[in-house]
């Protein structure tokens, strides 16, 4: 299968990728990049939904690189904004001598979310940490209820609400046991937990679980959570780091479902590839932070980095001008129709998703891994997800064109059916 976008010049991984993998093994901590005879390929450049590796092979990216490249890789308006800002002021002093571009981004985030105050962060896990810190300051209650399968990042604070045990287990001595309920449980269970434990100050939830395997809750779940948390004076933290900025067909899945959170975490797609995230909160909750008298209680060297802020503003313009939530809905219709026949396969347990966030759950993690490797060999990049890695996840750039999407899904469906190339 070869389209204009898929151009394979070598066996995958090619000779340069294999040589780099050997060099990587010698330099990187052994737990970070997974190296096998089948993976990785080393990316050299990317544009739109295409990725080119160091051997000159061109792939279609159905991951948006962990959901980040919603506007596509190297969107010209984002590249231009970063380049302009890099020449003018690449780095400032975020919480001491800030920049106008930082203010503009925070104003934009407030406008988009309808919330009141922002803390800019370097990545998603930090945004979750800020939400957890804010919740403690605002409620004085230390416990946070989370859900099985939840992924909120891997820093120590974020591990306190990890719903995938393997990430927390080796560090259990440093991180207390999280309080978890099944994702998509009846919200009366949440109500029972809140009524039973008065030390719970917040509930944290992903509107759709991403890393947990593209799990979609029942339509009333978020609204129900909002209602029970309000009744018990408990804060609702929505982690939209994966789902935010259009991925599910709405700008924010939580707001669309009528569950306005007290704290909203965003990241990934926010800046089209530049590392930045944010925790946005209601005025009432964010008032819990004391006024700075010169020493911020939460900040970091790169807070509000000007290049990241400029990239984010440009990205948000693209999200609006190209109506990417609507694009995600249209992609969702195509993806749903193409994946539907897979339900009939005995090794396919489920096909689910919303907008441009889909998962095909298979009977064993090894099958999902084999499928991602075979798809890569045929020029399509997908990732496994799910608590055990039993799901093949499909989260393309929202700007992917129909021909590329069709070509990539044809490859992926063939692979999942076990058809030879
Ligand atoms: C829902 C969610 N929250 C938090 C994170 C952590 O973000 P980061 O990897 O930028 O720290 C992720 C990353 O995949 C995520 O999907």
Q: How many domains does the chain have?
A: 2
Q: What pTM was estimated for this model as a whole?
A: 0.98
66: in domain: no
- In this prediction, residues 358-387 reach a mean pLDDT of 97
Strand partners, 277: 121
* Nearest in space to 357 (alpha carbons), one of 395, 329, 389: 395
Task: Indicate if 242 and 357 belong to the same structural domain.
Answer: no
pLDDT of residue 215: 98
Is 1's pLDDT higher than 50? no
Instruction: For residue range 60-103, list pLDDT tens digits in order.
Output: 999 999 999 999 999 999 999 999 999 999 999 999 999 999 99
User: Is there a single domain that holds both residue 305 and residue 364?
Assistant: no
Nearest residue CA, atom 6 of ligand 1?
153
Same domain, 350 and 280: no
101/220 same-domain check: yes
Q: Is residue 299 part of a domain?
A: yes
Q: Which atom of ligand 1 is nearest to the CA of 275?
A: 10
For the beta sheet containing 200-205, the strands, ordered from the edge strand earlier in sequence to the opposite edge, are 117-121, 277-281, 263-266, 235-239, 200-205, 143-147, 179-181
Give 395's pLDDT tier (boundaries 50, 70, 90).
very high
Measured distance CA(275)–CA(192) in Å, rounded: 39
Same domain assignment for residues 360 and 370: yes
Q: What percent of the chain has pLDDT over 70?
A: 99
- Tens of pLDDT, residue by residue over 135-160, are 999 999 999 999 999 999 999 999 99
Parallel, antiparallel or unpaired: strands 200-205 and 143-147: parallel
Closest CA to 135 of 113, 153, 154, 160: 160
User: For residue 2, is it within any domain?
Assistant: no
**What is the C-alpha separation between 164 and 211, in angstroms, rounded?**
9
- The answer to the question of residue 190 being in a domain is yes
For residues 173 and 234, the answer to whether their CB atoms sit within 8 Å is: no
What mean pLDDT value characterizes the chain?
97
Q: How confident is the model at residue 2 (pLDDT cuts 50, 70, 90)?
A: very low
Ligand 1 mutation target, pool 268, 278, 312, 395, most atoms within 8 A of CB: 268
Alpha-carbon distance of 54 to 24, in angstroms, equals 14
CATH number of the domain that residue 350 is part of: 3.90.1150.10
**Ligand 1 pocket list (CB less than 6 A):** 66, 123-125, 128, 151-153, 206, 210-211, 239, 241-242, 267
Query: Span 283-298, mean pLDDT?
Result: 96
In a domain, residue 8? The reply is: no
What's the CATH code of the domain at 141? Answer: 3.40.640.10
Cβ atoms 302, 91 nearer than 8 A: yes
Same domain for 189 and 109, yes or no, is yes
Structure token digits, residue 313: 């503003």
| pLDDT at residue 199 greater than cutoff 60 | yes
Do 50 and 108 reside in the same domain of the chain? Answer: no
How would DSSP label each residue in 152-210?
--SSHHHHTT-SSHHHHGGGTTTSPPPEEE-TT--HHHHHHHHHH-TTEEEEEE-SSBS
Q: Are 157 and 143 in contact (CB under 8 A)?
A: no
56 pLDDT exceeds 50? Answer: yes
| pLDDT band, very low/low/confident/very high, at 184 (cuts 50, 70, 90) | confident
Q: What distance in angstroms lies between residue 4's CA and the mean position of ligand 1's atoms?
A: 33
Query: Pick from 194, 192, 197, 158: which is nearest to 178 by CA?
Result: 158
Segments forming the whole domain that contains residue 93: 76-321
Which of these three, 304, 321, 338, is where a domain ends?
Answer: 321
117 and 239, same structural domain? yes
Q: Which of 269, 296, 321 is the last residue of a domain?
A: 321
Residue 343 confidence (pLDDT) above 90: yes
| pLDDT surpasses 70 at 411 | yes
- Residue 76 phi, psi (nearest 5): -55, -35
Residue whose C-alpha is closest to residue 265's, from 368, 79, 102, 113: 113
The pLDDT value recorded for residue 291 is 96
Q: Could you tell which of 65, 242, 273, 276 is best to mutate to test the pocket of ligand 1, judged by most ligand atoms within 8 Å of the CB? A: 242
């Amino acid at each position: 299968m070869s389209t204009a976008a898929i151009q394979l010049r070598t066996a995958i991984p090619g000779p340069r990728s294999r040589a780099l993998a050997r060099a990587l093994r010698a330099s990187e901590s052994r737990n970070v990049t997974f190296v096998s005879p089948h993976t990785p390929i080393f990316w050299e450049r990317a544009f739109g939904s295409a990725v080119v590796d160091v051997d000159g092979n061109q792939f279609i990216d159905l991951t948006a690189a962990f959901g980040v490249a919603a506007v596509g890789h190297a969107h010209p308006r984002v590249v231009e904004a970063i380049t302009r800002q890099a020449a003018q002021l690449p780095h400032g002093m975020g919480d001491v001598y800030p920049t106008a571009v930082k203010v503009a981004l925070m104003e934009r985030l407030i406008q988009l979310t309808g919330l009141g105050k922002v803390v800019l962060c370097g990545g998603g896990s930090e945004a979750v940490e800020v939400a957890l810190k804010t919740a403690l300051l605002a409620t004085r209650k230390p416990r946070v209820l989370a859900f099985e399968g939840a992924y909120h990042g891997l820093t120590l604070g974020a591990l306190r609400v990890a719903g995938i045990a393997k990430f927390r287990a080796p560090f259990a001595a440093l991180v207390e046991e999280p309080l978890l309920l099944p994702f998509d449980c009846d919200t009366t269970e949440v109500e029972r937990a809140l009524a039973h434990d008065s030390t719970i100050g917040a509930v944290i939830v992903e509107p759709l679980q991403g890393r947990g395997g593209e799990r979609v809750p029942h339509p009333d779940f978020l609204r129900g959570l909002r209602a029970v948390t309000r009744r018990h004076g408990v804060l609702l933290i929505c982690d939209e780091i994966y789902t935010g900025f259009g991925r599910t067909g709405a700008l924010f899945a939580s707001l669309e479902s009528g569950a306005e959170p007290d704290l909203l975490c965003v990241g990934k797609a926010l800046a089209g590839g530049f590392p930045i995230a944010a925790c946005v909160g209601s005025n009432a909750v964010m008032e819990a932070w004391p006024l700075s008298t010169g020493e911020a209680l939460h900040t970091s060297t790169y807070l509000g980095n000007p290049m990241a802020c400029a990239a984010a503003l440009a990205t948000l313009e693209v999200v609006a001008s190209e109506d990417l939530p609507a694009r995600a809905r249209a992609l969702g219709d195509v993806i749903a129709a193409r994946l539907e026949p897979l339900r009939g396969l005995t090794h396919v347990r489920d096909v689910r998703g919303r907008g441009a966030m889909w998962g095909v759950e298979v009977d064993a993690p090894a099958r999902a891994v084999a499928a991602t490797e075979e798809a890569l060999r045929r020029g399509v990049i997908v990732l496994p997800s799910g608590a055990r890695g039993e799901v093949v996840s499909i989260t393309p750039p929202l700007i992917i064109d129909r021909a590329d999407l069709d070509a990539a899904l044809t490859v992926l469906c063939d692979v999942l059916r076990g058809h030879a190339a």
